[in-house]
Structure 1
Amino acid sequence: MAEVQTTETNTKKKKSAIREWWDSVLFAVVAATLIRWMFLEAYTIPTGSMEKSLLINDFLFVSKLHYGSRTPKTIIQMPLTHQKIWFTDIPSYSDLIQLPMYRLPGFTSVKNGDVVVFNYPGCPERPDEFGGFDKYPVDLRTNYIKRCVAIAGDVLEVRDGQVFINGKAADNPEKMQMEYAIETNTQVNEKIFNKYEITEFEQDLRMTDKTIYYVKSTAGAMNEMKKLDFVKGITPLLMSKGDTTMPAFPYNSRLFPFNRDNFGPITIPKKGMTVQLDEKNIALYKGVITTFDGNENAKYENGKLLVDGKAITSYTFKQDYYFMMGDNRHGSDDSRFWGFVPEDHIVGKAVFIWMSIDKDGSFLNKIRWSRLFSIIR
């Protein structure tokens, strides 16, 4: 008996133009989201806290691979947004579901001198409008960029503006800025300051018998300006030791009379390190223990630290912490004013600048060509 074979021809329906466009957009969004989460993310420098190492409107890439990417904590979020939907004040996320956050393996760890992007942790001790914390979940808190000057376990001290780590003077960033007073025997043309890349300067108009300018500048520029015949003297503007007119972390001037130029010595918390909770250590570390170290039932009350309702006399830290400072040492809101950065707030390492725009430049000089594709050091 002959066998009869039936052949069924299936014709694949061609996608419409709208469907093809939607598939392309969906693929691009998914790919961009994965790249942004696991590999590289683009950032813009909005303030002058890292000048002159990084300039306002430097556009840079931050590597998530160096320190290891974090798994998302906030999973209900509009792709490619941070805190709000573009051009609105509408939150771009929901915190109804919050997952534990883990860090994938990286190929290095945060080191002294690294330029790091992190989520601003906030400071419960800070007694001004900048106190408290971002209202956002950890992975959506405001991004800051600073230089890590001390890692977990380091003993940090700042003496007359110079950072010391474990008793040794740290290398200063090549383009680190500080405030100086320049005394001259004449008015100084703005073009002179521009020549030395001094963009922040102000004349003290209260002086009638001398001409004084207050500037933020690098030490190299100041050394060059000293050679000018109309410059009579240059003095760094440093706060004296014990001067607490500009309060600093941990905001206890009796126990810690710190300021921006004279700070410490303090020990940066390290995972597994145990400290005895005397009066000074409670004042220094209570924010870490009650807020950042994952203790759900920890609080500070009547001069004591309580965990699960019981007073504790010693404490072992659960994660590493870091101390961050801006290279614009007298123009940076950093760890000197809000304390330690927890390891779980670390976002990534700033690696290179891909674009830089000078908003005040002329048409032909809007782009800072010399900064394009430069490595961040």
Structure 2
Amino acid sequence: MHGKTSRKHPLIKWLLVLLIGLPVVHYAGRVFVVDRFGISGVSMAPTLTAGQKVWVNKLLMGPRIYTKFDFSGGDLKCVRLPGMRKLRVGDVAVFNCPYGQEGDSIAFRINYVYCKRCWGVPGDTVLIVDGRLVGSWNIQNRFWHEHRADELVDILASIVPEKVSVRAGNFAGEEERWTLRDFGPIVVPKRGMTVALDSTVLRRYGQVIDWERRCAGSASEEVAGSTYTFRQDWYFFVGDNFLNSWDSRHFGFVPADFVVGIVPNK
């Protein structure tokens, strides 16, 4: 009897370890390695369609670790662990929507995410002419331009009527007469980049500056000086369904900390 009881103890211990360990491993994998998201709209068609599931690689950019778990105020406090590479133009990424319920200022919502293609990385000048990305002059990785440019032109020629002139969003102000197919030029904010605080800069980057100052705890203070130096990196995203996508042409730039990860091979 004693022998049988002693032999059962290791088995029970292993079962307990599995019952406790498997959920921990599963959760850690979703936080640090890879997570799965569902596509709910048509903005990435034909590349991704509604109902399709995508795997998001968090190791490429590095996983985010939240340092504050109260998101009720729309704030985000996190650190990003080192990754394998930075987000590139042409990458499809999943990111948190940069605007809250009111839509008038940048706010973080943990369970509200978009999936779009990156059209501008920090420091790039984004210029869309006749539905084509023609201005991204600081990009070192040219894979998107060299291997996908002709494909993109063919897709746009089939879905974008020649005379369509749908207004883009007004994140840059009413004075910018930009459309969904003719947009920019506009520089994507980059950490360390300094701009003069004139009326054009305040129209285009006012909400970006407001968010960075809120993150730094200086939102209640007056903006000092005639220049501003950006504290974070930002990105510009566009959906593949060019005329039916709510993206950076409407709501503006996305903070680097909002990017969840990269959808590989898209």
- Normalised to the residue count of structure 2, the TM-score between the two structures is 0.81
The CA deviation string for residues 284-305 of structure 1, in whole angstroms up to 9 with x for no partner, is 1111111145232236xxxxxx
- The reply on whether 1:218 has 2:218 as its aligned counterpart is no
Q: Which has the higher strand share?
A: 1
The CA deviation string for residues 40-66 of structure 1, in whole angstroms up to 9 with x for no partner, is 111111111111111222222110000
Q: Whose relative contact order is higher, 1 or 2, with alpha carbons under 8 Å and at least 6 apart? A: 2
The CA deviation string for residues 254-288 of structure 1, in whole angstroms up to 9 with x for no partner, is 2x111211111111101111001111001111111
Q: Which residue of 2 aligns with 1:262?
A: 182
Note if contact 1:159-1:262 (Cα within 8 Å) is conserved in structure 2.
yes
- Partner of 2:115, secondary structure, is strand
The alpha-carbon distance between structure 1 residues 342 and 13, as it changes in their structure 2 partners (threshold 3 A), is: same
Instruction: Note the C-alpha offset of 1:247.
Output: 4.6
The alpha-carbon distance between structure 1 residues 296 and 55, as it changes in their structure 2 partners (threshold 3 A), is: same
Q: Which residue of 1 aligns with 2:78?
A: 101
Note if contact 1:116-1:350 (Cα within 8 Å) is conserved in structure 2.
yes
The alpha-carbon distance between structure 1 residues 238 and 344, as it changes in their structure 2 partners (threshold 3 A), is: farther
CA distance in 2, matches of 1:133, 1:99: 11
Q: 1:272 aligns with which of 187, 192, 203?
A: 192
CA distance in 2, matches of 1:99, 1:266: 26
CA distance in 1, matches of 2:208, 2:76: 21
Report the RMSD for the aligned CA atoms in angstroms: 3.6
Q: 1:249 aligns with which of 150, 160, 170?
A: 170
Note if contact 2:64-2:79 (Cα within 8 Å) is conserved in structure 1.
yes
Identity %: 30
- Normalised to the residue count of structure 1, the TM-score between the two structures is 0.59
Q: 2:252 aligns with which of 321, 339, 352?
A: 339
- The reply on whether 1:163 has 2:133 as its aligned counterpart is yes
CA distance in 2, matches of 1:259, 1:291: 25
Q: Which residue of 2 aligns with 1:297?
A: 218
Q: Which has the higher helix share?
A: 2
Q: Which runs of 5+ in 1 are unaligned?
A: 1-8, 76-92, 178-216, 223-233, 300-307, 352-375
- Partner of 1:108, secondary structure, is coil
CA distance in 1, matches of 2:160, 2:26: 50
2:132 maps to a residue whose letter is Q
> Which aligned pairs between 1:117-266 and structure 2 lie closer than 5 A?
117-122=94-99, 130-133=103-106, 136=109, 140-166=110-136, 171=145, 218=155, 222=158, 236-240=161-165, 246-254=167-175, 256-266=176-186
Q: Which residue of 2 aligns with 1:53?
A: 47
